[in-house]
Amino acid sequence: DGGITQSPKYLFRKEGQNVTLSCEQNLNHDAMYWYRQDPGQGLRLIYYSQIVNDFQKGDIAEGYSVSREKKESFPLTVTSAQKNPTAFYLCASSIYGETDTQYFGPGTRLTVL
């Protein structure tokens, strides 16, 4: 079964703590993306990676960090520097050069207590 998995589905964090969201894909896609979705805001791009060991900031990268050590995996760390981290986080992937056809994971809902 090919697809994108994100874990956990729900995550709670205390203020001041870093937390890492997992994203794994077995679609053999080169490119992977992280988005944040807030009510009434649509999807906003946090980071993207077009190949292993390379990634670029999106529109709202401040307070986030990523790594891309393996093709299948693109974890996102929400650091304590992110001022308003409570949101729905979506990971996506695509074939290299086919940014217009992205496949999304089920999302992780992060709540900061």
| Residue 29 bridge partners (DSSP) | none
45 Cβ neighbours under 8 A, 6+ residues apart: 33, 34, 35, 58, 59, 60
Q: Which is nearer to other proteins, 50 or 80 (CB)?
A: 50
Q: Which is nearer to other proteins, 38 or 62 (CB)?
A: 38
Cis peptide before 85 (omega within 30 of 0): no
Q: Which is nearer to other proteins, 32 or 112 (CB)?
A: 32
Which residues contribute to the site for other proteins (CB under 8 A)? 4, 6, 40-45, 48, 50, 56, 58, 88, 90, 92, 99-107, 109
Q: What is the spatial distance between Cα 98 and Cα 32, in angstroms, rounded to a whole number?
A: 11
Q: How far is the CB of 32 from other proteins (least distance, A)?
A: 12
Q: How far is the CB of 11 from other proteins (least distance, A)?
A: 14
